[in-house]
Chain A
Amino acid sequence: MDAIPKHLIPAWLWAVLAVAAMVLALALALTERRREPGPALLYDVSPYEAVDPAKVLFREAKRISLNLDAPTALCVRGDGTILVAGQDAVLVLDSSGGEKGRIAVEGAPDCLAEGPDGRLYLGMRTRIAVHDPHGTHLQSWQDLGPRAWITSIVADEQHVFAADAGNKVICRFDISGNLLNRIGERDPERDIPGLVVPSPYIDVLLDPGGGLWVVNPGRLGFEHYRADGSLASSWYRPGIELDGFSGCCNPIHAVFRSDASLVTVEKGINRVKVYSPDTTLLGVVATPEMIGTLAEAAASFQEEALVRDVAVDSEDRVLVLHGPRRELLIFEERAPKN
């Protein structure tokens, strides 16, 4: 069969067809769009992060930038000095935030506390390191085993209590470092439900009367124990609403003020709140907007909690240690208490 003579398709038509093909290819390549996920596929808790301004009882009085890598823990000493632990050091600040010195440590303490005699207790993952009031290392207590993860310490005149998140227990030591008993282990005969610790956050604290309180994060509340390990009382408040503790395991930190009101810190929805001694929510110290919203944390790939610790000073101001920002945020109550 004879080939089609070239002149049957004129050159100009070839050119037009070629241009049309190119335009079509470009249009297809540049306009390829696939469906965006609809609202049913998106996880959004932003409505729960919004806080009624009338509920915010505190204001940020001061923000101290910390010259410290990876801040992890915080405590306020009896003389008003502020200690902030971080990588290889404990920063010593005066009450206004000025640096007075630093204590060298090996690694990063997960928690620290001051005893009534001024000695310092540092949680070094599986053991407690004891320092004299000037920061000199005195001794390290017994290792609590490979699973141990000491996340909180408090001390009174006779005892040191260490929260071990890895073993899900509170260890009670005498001030010489002898382990006296374990508190919080599940014991149905004594009506002790057991500490539920899904993530490495568990806090132990003393109320102004010296009572021992333990955060039970998996049950989203608090348990009050006697020194012998018997359970005196408990209260739990699961819920994402403002008056509850959200997620699987909250609160992550807590501290009592001098009037026995309780300051709590949550992760996930990063909020700091204050409860009255009868467990009623009084209001908010710091909103997620002040600390960092979930969206901000996700965008910066922050998997750890933003707030690393909380403390109260002698003026009942609330000190919040912000890890990623390496800042100490100081909040004071808006109106004087009645």
Chain B
Amino acid sequence: MDSRDKIDRREFIRAAAVLAAGGGAWMAARPDAEGMVWQIDPAKCIQCGRCATNCVLNPSAVKCVHTYEICGYCDLCSGYLQPGAKARDTGAENELCPVGALKRKFIEEPFYEYTVDEERCFGCAKCVKGCGQFGNGSLHLQIKRDLCVNCNECSIARNCPSDAIRRVPARRGYLFKQWVSGEESEG
């Protein structure tokens, strides 16, 4: 072979770099290109509590969220009250949440509305477990998009005992529960 036909090493690396850059630009620009983010599948979550302690953020990017259409607005809310609570009131000794992040407001006899104070919630899932085991499961955990730093390898996902954390498209970054089907809705 004629030596003039040979591609020298420098030319080869230059061509490869151009190809790689071009391919990357095309991948990023194509219409279906989409970022993926981590999210908790409520149907798989077993409320082990590790979301609170395994996130790289402190407090965790995992928070309790509430699907109101599933909630029974119960007075004796098992997500709000300690299992053996002496009274059904807002006394700290009766509250289940260790940081008082679940708030209760009287609506009409005998119904109460429950809201989550995200500033306080750190995703321990204690209320989620109480709600799911006795009630309708309207409280559940989600990774908050505005807090999550979207690690390449999610520390919580790696330690989740039920593989409840998976990648979802960023434009549908939540897996909220919904009424009737009991399945999550993407939104």
Interface residues, chain A, CB within 8 Å of chain B? 34-37, 40-43, 45, 48, 196, 198-199, 218-220, 238, 240-241, 246-249, 267-268, 294, 297-299, 301, 303
Q: B136–A198 contact, CB under 8 A?
A: yes
Q: B84–A240 contact, CB under 8 A?
A: yes
Interface assignment of B23: CB less than 8 Å from any CB of chain A: no
Q: B110–A198 contact, CB under 8 A?
A: no
A220 with B83, Cβ < 8 A, contacts A37-B48, A42-B126, A247-B134 known: no
A36 with B72, Cβ < 8 A, contacts A43-B130, A199-B136, A240-B83 known: no
The 6 closest A-B CB pairs, nearest first, are A198-B72, A247-B134, A37-B49, A268-B134, A248-B74, A43-B129
Q: B50–A249 contact, CB under 8 A?
A: no
Interface assignment of B77: CB less than 8 Å from any CB of chain A: yes
Query: Which residues of B52-89 are within 8 A (CB) of A?
Result: 52-54, 71-78, 83-84, 88
Interface residues on B, range: 35 or more
Which of these, A43, A196, A241, contacts B110 with CB under 8 Å?
Answer: A196
A249 with B135, Cβ < 8 A, contacts A43-B47, A198-B74 known: yes
Q: Which residue of A lies closest to B136 (CB)?
A: A199
Interface assignment of B116: CB less than 8 Å from any CB of chain A: no
**Smallest CB separation, A282 vs chain B (Å):** 23
Can you name 19 A-B pairs with beta carbons within 8 Å? A34-B53, A34-B155, A34-B159, A36-B53, A37-B53, A41-B49, A41-B52, A41-B98, A43-B47, A43-B125, A45-B133, A196-B74, A198-B136, A199-B136, A246-B134, A249-B74, A298-B46, A298-B133, A303-B182
Residues of A within 8 A of B53 (CB): 34-37, 41
